[in-house]
């Protein structure tokens, strides 16, 4: 488990010798066995399982799941021309209710 107050950056998903990703996803984050390379504040890297990363994130949240300091930033976010804009992201029904548009992209 990561030490209290120690900040780290998840760099990439770990793979075995033939490039196959290590571990399997699970709907319950605590049972997720995917493994990631994590860079610690001092520049060293180590391997951590997704369930340990999730446990550390969840331990920083209150009973309603709110925590403002869990993430400093989201890096490498991008969108292309196929992305739906916020203005066009909803369908409006006859009675005026807005529902998010369903897409199959991403």
Phi and psi based region of residue 86 (left: phi greater than 0; alpha: psi -120 to 50; beta: remaining): alpha
Q: What is the pLDDT of residues 50-97, one digit of tens each?
A: 877 777 776 766 667 665 555 566 667 777 777 777 788 888 888 988
Q: According to the model, what pLDDT value does residue 25 have? A: 84
Q: Indicate the length of the chain as a whole number.
A: 106
Q: What is the pLDDT of residues 3-42, one digit of tens each?
A: 556 677 888 888 889 888 888 888 887 788 888 888 888 8
- Collapsing DSSP to helix, strand or coil, 52 comes out as helix
> pTM of the prediction?
0.51
- Those residues with Cβ within 8 angstroms of residue 100's Cβ, 6 or more apart along the chain or in another chain: 89, 90, 91
The alpha carbon dihedral of 88, 90, 91, 96 has a sign of negative
């Amino acid at each position: 488990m990561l030490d209290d107050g120690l900040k780290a950056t998840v760099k990439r998903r770990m793979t075995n010798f033939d490039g196959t990703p290590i571990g399997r996803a699970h709907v319950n984050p605590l049972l997720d066995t995917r493994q990631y390379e994590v860079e610690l504040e001092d520049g060293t890297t180590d391997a951590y399982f997704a369930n340990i990363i999730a446990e550390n994130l969840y331990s920083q949240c209150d009973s309603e799941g709110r925590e403002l300091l869990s993430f400093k930033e989201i890096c490498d976010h991008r969108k292309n021309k196929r992305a739906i804009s916020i203005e066009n992201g909803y369908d409006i029904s006859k009675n005026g209710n807005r529902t998010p548009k369903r897409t199959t992209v991403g």
